[in-house]
Structures are given as C-alpha cells and as structure tokens.
Amino acid sequence: MTSRLPALGLVALSILASSYVACGGDDETAGGATPTPDASASSSSSSSSSSSSSSSSSSSGGGDAGNDAEARGTTITGKIVYGYSSVAGVKVVIGDQVTTTAANGSFTIKAATMPYTLHVVVPKELSFLGPKDGTSAMSFVGLTSTSPILRAYANVTPSKATVKGTVSGGSTTGVYRWIVFVDAPQAGNQSGQTGGSSNASPKEYDLTTTWPAGQSQQSLSLAALEYKIPSGLPIGEGIPTEYVSKATGFTTVAASATAENQVGAFSPAETTLLDVEVDLPAVAGWSIKRWTLWLVGAQGAEISFTEDTGTSARAVHVPKGLASIPKARIGVQASTSVLGEFSTHTQLAGTGSFSSVQITIRKSPVPDKPAEAATGVKVGDLLSWDSVGEDCLYTAILRAQTDGSTAFALQTTATSVTIPDLAAHGAGLTASTPYEWYVTCDLKNAPKASIDADAVLGGAASNGGAVSRYMHFVTQ
C-alpha cells in the first residue's frame, strides 16, 4: 500500500478505472483543520511578477515589435507550479513575448490575441520529463484566462517533516495489518515505516511527509487503520476485506522538525461493502489486470491498496462512518497488448449507504498523423488523433532518447496540435533523431473539457482518462 498526493500531472503513468464513493459518517472527529488554499500558490504577486517581467520581457522581432505587442496586448498575470509548489526560473512564451517566472512562480506577459497559446520552457537543471541534460517544453493551446495557474514538469524541493510514534491497542493477531497516514492540505508523498503486521509489537511508525516549498509549517491530521487482507498475500499487497480498528491524531509541525506520538489508541471500526462491476471498451483485446482501492482523507491525501486480479466484478470493503476517511476510490487497471495503451473512467457513486456501481472504461485515443515510422517530421507539423469525447483534455507527449534533446507536452481540447518552434528558447527538435509520441486523455467532470477550467491550482476535477499506444517518427 502507498500514500500519495492525488494525481496532478499531465501524463498518466499508470491508468486506472476509478469510482469515488463517500464513506461519510460522524462517529469520530477528523481532528484536522478545514483545508485552505495556499495563498502563495493560488494567487500571484503582482509586484514581484511585474518587476520580473519588466526586466526580462523581450521581443524576438526587435524593440518596435515588442512595443507594438505591449500596446495592443492583453496582460496575462499567472503562475507556474508543479503539484502545489511554485516553479521559479522557467521561461514563459506567448507569441513574441518572453519572460521568466519569479521566485514565487509568478509571471506577467502580454497576449496579443485571444485565445492564446502559452509555452513554458523548463531548463535542463529543473526538467525531468525528457532524457538526461534535456530541456522540456509545455504548451497550453487555446487559453483565454488572464490569470492561469499552469503545471510544468520541473523539479522542486518541498518542505518536509518527520512524524513518528507508537499506536497502542488493537489486535495482536497476525492475520491483521495496520497503517498510519498523514492527511493535510496540499500534502505530498509520504515514505518510511507506515505500518506492519498486528502481531508485531510495538506498532511503531516513522514516516516523512512533504508539502509545498515555502510553507514553514503544516497542520497535519493523522489516521490509522487496522485491517484484514486475503490470506497468503504479503504486506504491501491485497485489498482489505475487513476493518477492525481505527485511530486519529492531529499536530502542527515545522519544516525539518519531528512530531512524536500524535496518534491515539486504536478503537473498534466497522466495514461496509460496495459491489462494483466493470465494462470494458467495445473493442477487442482489452483485459483487466489489477484492482486498486484508495482511501481518501478529509483533506485529500490518499492511501492505496492493490491486488492483481482479472475479475470484472467484486465486492470492495471500505471503512464505515469515519470522518477522517470520508471517501474511497475504486480502481481497475485495464490495458491491451499494444505498448502503452491504457484507459480509465471515474464516476461519482452514492453516499451513505452502498449499492452497485458500474464503471465503464473509455477507449484510448488512436494516433493518426504522423504515421508510424514517418520520416522528415519538423516543427509546424501536426500531431493528430481521433476523438474520445468532448469531455477530454488531451496532452500529446513527444520525446527522444538522445541526451540533451527536448521533451514536449502539448495540451489542447482539439484532436490535433502543432509541434511548436521553440528553438530560440532552447527547446527545439533535435535534427535527424528518432522520437516517440503518444496522447493522453484526461476526462473532465464536465460535458465539455476546458483548458481554462484546468488552469487552476490542482487542476479541474477529473473523471479518469486514457493513454494511446506509442508512435514513432524521425525528425528532418
């Protein structure tokens, strides 16, 4: 099992068919503060960004062209983030206007026309999307927002702290396992000793939790569960079939500090069932590989349990009436034999009482152009694919395996996108080089996907997604 930040990136690295359900109830106190947005992440500092842009904004067409664009343009004041952390020192390009993000990730730049395309160029020192020593470029096509918050693939150093202690009480039987996880606004990944077998005493946890850089402290809710999994599976595998104990805690911890013994004693817990059935795409070759259960904390952090099975229907056990874990997400990993082809779908289930939930997995986009093994591909050429639906926000990913080459993530609501010419900003296509590319579809919780609606802190709510097969071409 793992504990993680809700997925926020543009690329789906593992795709799961998912269903949110509310576990709800009020038989315990969550012990945490109501989540509040990070002020530094949700708003831009106009004074900082104006200062940054006025010193770094330039025009590739010369001073007069830049002045003309300034005169006729709409001011865009936004922010670049990774997860919830600000990203400083990356280029932002709109047309012939260029600026660099300030220390808090903010920028101010002119867009000559609406809608506009905004490019973010991440230097090799920060980039992790592409190969070694390569830059990365993100393009957002069709924006009209004048205050977008956009996500870039950039390494950031989060704040972190240690949470450790012992949970008392509960079972002493080896068929049960226990786990502790941290739930906090904008919480990041957690690592370390988070649980074990109930027959091992004492029940000690020692984990590291992270949150956005720049926040000196964080208020943390802690939740512990004791549960049973199918026999014969090792720790770290299996979806619980029963929950027998629960515990909670709360603390405020400073960055780089340690909080100890903040979780109370285990007390009895209850279990309820959700019957789940899965429909695969009406295309031959799809099969189910794995089921996943995420338990979602009141402030958004998650713990997950996975089990390899190809069944298309099962009863999933979730904790009943826990205010500290009010939601669950049921996931099914499905794929085809084609490299890289996965799909997911998420639907909102009933609250309070539980009944049957039907999950229908959407098909993947099918790439069209360039054709497989095409040659002579260049900037200005189109990448295209078929439609998965109007609720899909697409991202085309292309990258080479050559060290030093640029990787691209091109986001649009259309079924095609142009390979941008960003060579002047250190993000060009490498000549005579093999590239691979594929398309992801992020299914938004709306009748029609909007790139503006997604340009907010954390992104717009998602109903799942799909990933196409890998395609290949050679550049001119």
In this structure, what are the phi and psi dihedrals at residue 423, rounded to the nearest 5 degrees?
A: -60, -35
Q: Is pLDDT at 335 greater than 90 in this prediction?
A: no
Both tokens of residue 174? Answer: 């080896």
Instruction: For strands 471-475 and 462-467, give the pairing.
Output: unpaired
**Mean pLDDT of all residues belonging to the chain:** 82
How confident is the model at residue 132, as a pLDDT? 80
Q: Which residue has the tokens 């960055």?
A: 255
- Compare 117 and 298 and report the one with higher pLDDT: 117
Residues 392 and 439: beta-carbon distance below 8 Å: no
Distance between CA atoms of residues 417 and 410, nearest Å:
7
SS (H, E, C) the chain: CEEECCCCCCCCCCCCEEEEEECCCCCCCCCCCCCCCCHHHHCCCHHHHHHHHHHHCEECCCHHHHHHHHHHCEEEEEEEEECCEECCCCEEEECCEEEECCCCCEEEEEECCCCEEEEEEECCCCECCCCCCCCEEEEEEEECCCCCEEECCECCCCEEEEEEEEECCCCCCCCEEEEEEEECCCCCCEEEECEEECCCCCEEEEEEEEECCCCCEEEEEEEEEEEECCCCCCCCCCCCCEEEEEEEEEEEEECCCEEECCECCCEECEEEEEEEEEECCCCCCCEEEEEEEEEECCCCCEEEEEEECCCCEEEEEEEECCCCCCEEEEEEEEECCCCCCEECCEEECCCCCCCEEEEECCCCCCEEECCCCEEEECCCCEEEECCCCCCEEEEEEEEECCCCCCEEEEEECCCEEECCCEHHHCECCCCCCEEEEEEEEEEECCCCCCHHHHCCCCCCCEEEEEECCCEEEEEC
Q: Is pLDDT at 333 greater than 90 in this prediction?
A: no
How confident is the model at residue 331, as a pLDDT? 82
Both tokens of residue 395? Answer: 């991202």
Q: Which residue has the tokens 């009020």?
A: 26
pLDDT digits (tens, 9 = 90+) for 418-448: 999 999 999 999 999 999 999 999 988 889 9
Confidence of residue 72 (pLDDT cuts 50, 70, 90): low
Q: Is pLDDT at 30 greater than 70 in this prediction?
A: no
Distance between CA atoms of residues 126 and 124, nearest Å:
5
Q: Which residue has the tokens 């503060």?
A: 33
- Compare 347 and 239 and report the one with higher pLDDT: 239
Distance between CA atoms of residues 190 and 15, nearest Å:
21
The lowest-confidence range among 54-58, 201-205, 287-291 is 54-58
pLDDT digits (tens, 9 = 90+) for 239-262: 999 999 999 999 999 999 999 999
User: Residue 65 CB: number of other CB atoms within 10 A?
Assistant: 14
Residue type present at position 9:
G
Which residues touch 336 (CB under 8 Å, ≥6 apart)?
Answer: 285, 286, 287, 364
Task: Provide mean pLDDT across the span 222-234.
Answer: 87
The lowest-confidence range among 45-49, 108-112, 150-154, 306-310 is 45-49
How confident is the model at residue 120, as a pLDDT? 98
Q: Is pLDDT at 70 greater than 60 in this prediction?
A: no
Residue type present at position 124:
K
Residues 226 and 170: beta-carbon distance below 8 Å: yes
From residue 78, alpha-carbon distances to 69, 185, 457 in Å are 18, 22, 11
pLDDT digits (tens, 9 = 90+) for 268-278: 999 988 889 99
Q: Measured at the alpha carbon of residue 438, what is the angle toward residues 86 and 79, in degrees to the nearest 5?
A: 15
For the sheet containing 270-279, what is the strand order? 313-320, 270-279, 356-360
Counting Cα atoms < 13 Å in the Cβ hemisphere of 5 gives: 18
How confident is the model at residue 235, as a pLDDT? 66
